[in-house]
DNA sequence: CCGGATTTGGCAATCGGTTGTCATCAAGAA
DNA sequence: TTCTTGATGACAACCGATTGCCAAATCCGG
């Protein structure tokens, strides 16, 4: 009835390669396992010559510490989870790399999970990973605040690109970049402006809109929100109709993907860019300089955000103090997709 | 002298949240821990009413199995490692996603490591992860065959984009795509052709060159190899000089990044594309349709490669038979960067 | 040369599940 | 009524490393 491996209970269970354990070393070196353990990770606790001998035996036997066994006793797995909504979204590439780099530097292993844009799947992943990691980083999470706090109460946790009360939040400040962008547009002579918003549930999209609104007013531009717009190429292409209908001469998109989609659609329909429409993206993500004209965009320090998130997470794990508050500022990257508006 | 936490040996060690264990459940339900264990994962082994009661107590206590403890005894961590040279290389995005998806489906956790293009760092990562995972997938590895075989002898292992004897290798067949591309170029009237090669140590670049050479000859095109070319935008831009010097009318690049770099450089210098030069990329990676003209490219089934790699890896872990041999074929994606050569 | 301080290293418990073995008990067969 | 048989659940060993505690060995000054 069952096809499970009921026979051969041992024999095939341990590593086929049969890793050496501290017990093997102890036997060969003629000491006790506890001595081996101490020799290997409490330098000085053990007589220098004994320690040396043990190290040699360990090397001979090709010993590698079994992290699972250590984790069981210590409760520390030296592992953290990074959960994000969409691995293939280029916005996250640099963030992931930053996280991985810091993790590796601190001898932590990174576990990557994807929630495929679903809050439920995200909660699932978090719940599943919870007992196996020391901490969790949630990037652009779709979970409600309450659920996030509940997780944070059980494990060290940081959220990136979202502000949650009582939870360590890493969120780049969009203001400097947006201010610069709108100043830039105003200086070029634009009088009308639209913000292309992302998913309704996105904290970041909401925040960017509020700031853009404020800045546009301050510079005397007319300002409207167009959206929500799906954060994909197709979403950006589809929004063109509404942008043209609104009759604006400049737009800021929630992110580069939307901006690029819009740009491609405009070019395909033979519009003159940037003359007829100035487009500003957000994030300076991979590929934003491939377009023609190359996209003017607001760079988010995503790499640093990833690094910082993991640094903070680990200090939370180690129960250290959180030192300085560092600001992650955005900056405007001027490229070719913005220009003075053509006179009609 | 030492800042380590020597005091407070217990108390803070276990989960702050104090997870329930099977011992807690056993106590509440009035049975032994072994009964709890069996009730929870050997359905039928335990009296139905007892089992039900145990399940209820477990739910009440919010019990979650500790995977570390299970792993220690069983030797199975339900975790696999994916090691690749560069996380931010868009070629891998879909591959990573495919791997993650299959892993999640099979209740495996994916650990991601990056070797930063260094064979030594890659070996390091593999060595470090070895005792903590059930299997390893190496993508576009830079390690020598011998070292790979040595790893494979110790843990289930698969390599992607590389052929290594006696090791499970997943490698998409570049031939169909290359044949189609060269046929396409020949049909457009091209008589000369160059292959822009990638890193010298890349198995895939070598393979693609050999096939391209063969196909070009078969279609009566002149053919040269230009390179090696660093697989970055800058590398692609830098190669323009040599391409022009070679006087060819069509090129196939080792990958899209190189092709896009070349394309951007040509546009920036005012060349007429695709009239003066037809460019074909490889991989159909993210952003290859952002350019103007959009890049004609050879699509590699990277998503499937990622899925297949993990499926194979897991069946290796489970010691199952490897069923059918599936072919991963490449296919030509015609876009705008190829056209009939301008008459000079 | 002695007594106390300091090293040094072994014993055994522990982390949380898993499973082989075995005793017990009830039901069915003879 | 007795024996067989299967169902049920407890006991204890085990996975590999860590560490509190203690005893033995060594060193020191007086």
Q: Angle, nearest 10°, between helix axes B33-41 and B48-61?
A: 100
Report the 10 Å Cβ neighbour count for A164: 21
Is pLDDT of A15 > 60? no
Q: How far apart are CA B23 and CA B32, in angstroms?
A: 8
Residue (of B312, B304, B306) closest to B330 by Cα position: B304
pLDDT digits (tens, 9 = 90+) for A257-287: 999 999 999 999 999 999 999 999 999 999 9
Q: Is the peptide bond before B138 cis (omega within 30 degrees of 0)?
A: no
Instruction: Note whether B50 and B33 are same-domain residues.
Output: yes
* DSSP β-bridge partners for residue B251: B194, B279
Instruction: Note whether A148 and A213 are same-domain residues.
Output: no
Instruction: Note whether A167 and A307 are same-domain residues.
Output: yes
Write out chain A residues lying below 8 Å of B90, CB-based: 90, 93, 286-287
Q: In this predicted structure, what is the pLDDT of residue B58?
A: 92
Question: Which nucleotides of strand C are protein-proximal, with an atom < 7 A from a CB?
Answer: 7-12, 14-20
Domain count along chain B: 3
Q: In this predicted structure, what is the pLDDT of residue B136?
A: 96
In angstroms, how far is C19 C1' from B37 CA?
10
Q: In this predicted structure, what is the pLDDT of residue A12?
A: 35
Q: What is the largest CA-CA distance in chain B?
A: 91
The percentage of residues in chain A with a pLDDT greater than 90, rounded to a whole number, is: 74
In angstroms, how far is C8 C1' from A62 CA?
26
Could you list the beta-strand ranges (E) of A146-227: 157-160, 168-170, 192-196, 222-226
Q: Is the CB of A50 under 7 A from strand C?
A: yes
B288 within domain boundaries: yes
A139 within domain boundaries: yes
Cβ proximity of B160 and B171 under 8 Å: yes
Instruction: Note whether B205 and B272 are same-domain residues.
Output: yes
Number of A/B CB contacts below 8 angstroms equals 139
For tokens 């450089």, the residue is B265
pLDDT digits (tens, 9 = 90+) for A120-179: 889 988 988 998 999 999 998 989 999 999 999 999 999 999 999 999 999 999 999 999
In a 10 Å sphere around its CB, with 0-12 CB exposed, 13-18 middle and 19+ buried, how is residue B2 labelled? exposed
Q: Is the CB of A40 under 7 A from strand D?
A: yes
DSSP string for A77-90: -SEEEEEES-TT-G
B33 within domain boundaries: yes
Structure tokens at B242: 């040599």
Is pLDDT of A308 > 80? yes
B339 within domain boundaries: no
CA distances, A30 to each of A36, A46, A60, B178 (Å): 10, 14, 15, 63
pLDDT digits (tens, 9 = 90+) for A189-215: 999 999 999 988 888 999 999 999 999
8-state DSSP, B30 = T
Q: How far apart are CA B311 and CA B323, in angstroms?
A: 11
Question: Helix %, strand %, coil % for chain B, to 5?
Answer: 45, 15, 40
Rounded (10°) CA dihedral A159, A164, A166, A169: 40
Instruction: Note whether A179 and A32 are same-domain residues.
Output: no
Q: In this predicted structure, what is the pLDDT of residue B19?
A: 79
Instruction: Note whether B270 and B196 are same-domain residues.
Output: yes
DSSP string for A253-300: ESSHHHHHHHHHHHHHTT--TTTS-EEEEEE--TTTTTSSSPPEEEEP
Instruction: Note whether A252 and A194 are same-domain residues.
Output: yes
Structure tokens at A210: 């509020």
Q: Write the CATH number for A281.
A: 3.40.50.2300
The percentage of residues in chain B with a pLDDT greater than 90, rounded to a whole number, is: 73
Q: How far apart are CA A182 and CA B69, in angstroms?
A: 56
Q: How far apart are CA B71 and CA A340, in angstroms?
A: 63
Instruction: Note whether B99 and B156 are same-domain residues.
Output: yes
Write out chain A residues lying below 8 Å of B16, CB-based: 154
Which H/E stretch holds residue A332?
strand A331-333
Starting at the earlier edge strand, list the strands of the sheet with A109-114: A168-170, A157-160, A135-139, A79-84, A109-114, B109-114, B79-84, B135-139, B157-160, B168-170
Cβ proximity of A290 and B264 under 8 Å: yes
Instruction: Note whether A132 and A219 are same-domain residues.
Output: no
Last residue of a domain, one of A74, A96, A123: A74
Is pLDDT of B221 > 90? yes
A125 within domain boundaries: yes
Write out chain B residues lying below 8 Å of A310, CB-based: none
A340 within domain boundaries: no
Q: Is the CB of A38 under 7 A from strand D?
A: yes
Last residue of a domain, one of B74, B97, B126: B74
CA B230 to chain A, closest CA, distance in angstroms equals: 18
Last residue of a domain, one of A34, A55, A74: A74
Structure tokens at B289: 């349709």
* DSSP β-bridge partners for residue B282: B298
Cβ proximity of A260 and A281 under 8 Å: yes
Instruction: Note whether B185 and B154 are same-domain residues.
Output: no
* DSSP β-bridge partners for residue B169: B159
B230 within domain boundaries: yes
pLDDT digits (tens, 9 = 90+) for A75-126: 999 999 999 988 878 888 889 999 999 998 999 999 999 887 788 889 988 9
Domain housing A52: 10-74
Q: In this predicted structure, what is the pLDDT of residue B9?
A: 34
Is pLDDT of B59 > 50? yes
Instruction: Name the average pLDDT for chain B.
Output: 89
Q: Per-residue confidence at A216, pLDDT binned at 50, 70, 90?
A: very high
Q: How far apart are CA A293 and CA A264, in angstroms?
A: 10
The pLDDT of A38-62, averaged and rounded, is: 90
Q: In this predicted structure, what is the pLDDT of residue B44?
A: 81
B93 within domain boundaries: yes
Beta strands at B296-299 and A331-333: parallel, antiparallel or unpaired: unpaired
Is pLDDT of B6 > 70? no
User: Which nucleotide's C1' sits nearest to the alpha carbon of A38?
Assistant: D18
Cβ proximity of B298 and B181 under 8 Å: yes
For tokens 């980083």, the residue is A137
Is pLDDT of A30 > 60? yes
In a 10 Å sphere around its CB, with 0-12 CB exposed, 13-18 middle and 19+ buried, how is residue A20 labelled? middle
Instruction: Note whether A164 and A312 are same-domain residues.
Output: yes
Q: Write the CATH number for B48.
A: 1.10.260.40
Instruction: Note whether A137 and A199 are same-domain residues.
Output: no
8-state DSSP, B132 = G
């Amino acid at each position: 009835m069952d096809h499970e491996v009921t026979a051969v209970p041992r024999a095939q269970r341990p590593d086929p390669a049969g890793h050496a354990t501290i017990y093997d070393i102890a036997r060969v070196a003629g000491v006790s396992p506890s001595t081996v353990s101490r020799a290997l990770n409490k330098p000085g606790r053990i007589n220098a010559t004994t320690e040396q001998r043990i190290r040699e035996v360990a090397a001979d036997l090709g010993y590698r510490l079994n992290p699972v066994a250590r984790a069981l006793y210590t409760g520390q797995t030296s592992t953290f989870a990074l959960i994000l909504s969409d691995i293939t979204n280029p916005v996250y590439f640099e963030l992931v790399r930053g996280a991985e780099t810091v993790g590796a530097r601190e001898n932590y292993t990174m576990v990557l999970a994807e929630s495929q844009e679903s809050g439920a799947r995200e909660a699932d992943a978090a719940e599943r990973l919870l007992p196996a990691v020391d901490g969790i980083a949630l990037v652009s999470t779709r979970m409600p605040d309450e659920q996030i706090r509940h997780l944070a109460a059980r494990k060290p946790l940081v959220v990136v690109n979202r502000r949650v009360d009582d939870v360590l939040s890493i969120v780049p400040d969009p203001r400097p970049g947006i201010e610069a962008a709108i100043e830039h547009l105003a200086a070029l002579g634009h009088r009308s402006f639209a913000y292309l918003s992302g998913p309704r549930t996105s904290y970041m999209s909401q925040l960017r809109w509020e700031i853009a609104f404020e800045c546009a007013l301050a510079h005397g531009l007319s300002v409207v929100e167009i959206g929500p717009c799906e954060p994909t190429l197709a979403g950006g292409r589809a929004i063109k109709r509404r942008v043209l209908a609104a009759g604006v001469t400049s737009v800021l998109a929630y992110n580069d993907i939307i901006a690029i989609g819009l740009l491609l659609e405009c070019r395909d329909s033979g519009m003159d860019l940037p003359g007829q429409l100035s487009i500003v993206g957000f994030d300076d993500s991979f590929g934003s300089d491939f377009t023609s004209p190359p996209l003017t965009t607001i760079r988010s320090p995503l790499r640093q955000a990833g690094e910082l998130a993991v640094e903070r997470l680990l200090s939370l794990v180690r129960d250290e103090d959180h030192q300085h508050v560092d600001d992650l500022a955005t900056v405007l990257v001027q490229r070719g997709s913005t220009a003075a508006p053509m006179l009609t």
